[in-house]
């Protein structure tokens, strides 16, 4: 099957089962979203939402976070793991936003990636969610699904998968597809016990039957 035919099948099925996907992180401000994405490394959106609900109720502004005791922030975010490093990054991000960006999250990827704890994936997620700038962030779900569906090779790293997805799919579909890949991987094509029986993509799946 040609790759172009495969992508049409994938997009059609995703539109069928996931017509209106979206980000599952909850937030009330641009900086709140940036912090939430940074905190989401190696944990789930559900856990992040529970923690940030507590965090931002106690410290509702950037200035309040700037003046907060780092040990208290570390204790609040402890359920997410890596709390010592994440709390340092959080404080540093807040300081950078206040000092260099007038309290606003920058719209520029290079500036975003200079913020502590913000890498390629986090910056891309911020760009597509806050500013609707097309990108194709690759998290663990996108990474897994892309390889199972033969859109990337097993040996490809995250950046290589991202490049291939951006080349394969139309730019105007990147944001929606990013969310569809995540939801498909999170609720259907799970790492353990994927729901293969009724999946219309099993004919494309390298994992099916193994």
Q: Could you read off the pLDDT of 147-168 as tens digits, one per residue?
A: 999 999 999 999 999 999 999 9
Q: Which two tokens stand for residue 46?
A: 């559900």
Instruction: Indicate the pTM of the whole model.
Output: 0.91
pLDDT of residue 1: 61
Catalytic center residues: 121, 139
Average pLDDT, the chain: 95
Q: Which two tokens stand for residue 78?
A: 């402890």
Residues listed for the chain: 210
Task: Give domain limits for the chain.
Answer: 3-21+136-187, 30-130
**Does the pLDDT value for residue 200 go beyond 70?**
yes
H runs (alpha helix) in the chain: 3-17, 30-39, 45-58, 62-67, 70-76, 83-100, 109-113, 120-130, 140-148, 158-168, 174-187
Residue in 158, 165, 164, 122 with CA at minimum distance from that of residue 143:
158
Residue in 131, 142, 121 with CA at minimum distance from that of residue 41:
121
CATH node for 30-130: 1.10.340.30
d(CA 114, CA 123): 10
d(CA 189, CA 196): 7
pLDDT of residue 206: 87
CATH node for 3-21+136-187: 1.10.1670.10
d(CA 145, CA 183): 10
Neighbours of 108 (CB within 10 A): 13
Split at pLDDT 50, 70, 90, the class of 10 is very high
**Does the pLDDT value for residue 4 go beyond 80?**
no
Residue in 21, 34, 54, 60 with CA at minimum distance from that of residue 142:
21
The residue-averaged pLDDT of 189-202 equals 92
Split at pLDDT 50, 70, 90, the class of 115 is very high
């Amino acid at each position: 099957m040609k790759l172009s035919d495969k992508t049409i099948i994938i997009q059609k099925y995703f539109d069928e089962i996931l017509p209106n996907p979206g980000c599952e992180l909850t937030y009330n401000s641009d900086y709140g979203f940036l912090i939430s994405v940074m905190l989401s490394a190696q944990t789930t959106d559900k856990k992040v939402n529970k923690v940030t609900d507590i965090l931002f109720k106690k410290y509702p502004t950037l200035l309040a976070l700037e003046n907060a005791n780092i040990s208290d922030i570390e204790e609040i975010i402890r359920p997410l793991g890596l709390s010592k490093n994440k709390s340092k990054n959080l404080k540093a991000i807040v300081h950078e936003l206040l000092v260099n960006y007038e309290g606003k999250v920058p719209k520029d990827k290079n500036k975003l990636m200079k913020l502590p704890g913000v890498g390629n994936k986090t910056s891309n997620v911020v760009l597509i969610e806050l500013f609707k700038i097309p990108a194709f962030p690759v998290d663990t779900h996108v990474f897994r699904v892309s390889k199972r569906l033969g859109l990337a090779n097993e040996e490809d790293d995250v950046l290589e998968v991202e490049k291939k997805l951006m080349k394969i799919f139309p730019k105007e579909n990147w944001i929606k597809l990013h969310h569809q890949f995540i939801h498909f991987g999170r609720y259907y094509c799970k790492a353990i016990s994927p729901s293969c029986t009724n999946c219309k993509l099993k004919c494309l799946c390298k994992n099916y039957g193994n």
